[in-house]
Amino acid sequence: MSEQARLSHLFVLVSDLARTRAFYVDALGLQALMEENGYLRVGGAGGFHMGMEEGSPDQIGSAGIEIVIQVDDVDRRYQEMLAGGIAFDSAPADQPWGARHAWLHDPDGYRLSIFSAQTRG
């Protein structure tokens, strides 16, 4: 093989694109990289991108997917999101693999984790 493949972005179907934009851009702090004709792509800081379009209810969600988003300070972002009315499944906690994670779900039930490097105490 002479060409290498690389991941471009994750694509998901959502029930309400405006509500999803508010969650990922306004609450989580990702950048809206592209918005046109019912399509939204988010990302930031040179990382992986996620594209979204509205779909029918039978096309939305997957129990086997987790969207993982790195933030500078998971504790601060957790507190900001809680204050903004976002519910979490767990508070930030140090993990054995060397990161500090908090888990939650987006408006369509996709599982997310926000994380940052563990603080050393």
* Domains of the chain, first to last: 9-117 (3.10.180.10)
Reading the chain (121 residues) residue by residue, the pLDDT tens digits are 567 888 889 999 999 999 999 999 999 999 999 999 999 999 987 888 999 999 999 999 988 999 999 999 999 999 999 999 999 999 999 999 999 999 999 999 999 999 998 875 5
Neighbours of 74 (CB within 10 A): 24
User: What residue spans of the chain are helical by DSSP H?
Assistant: 17-21, 74-83
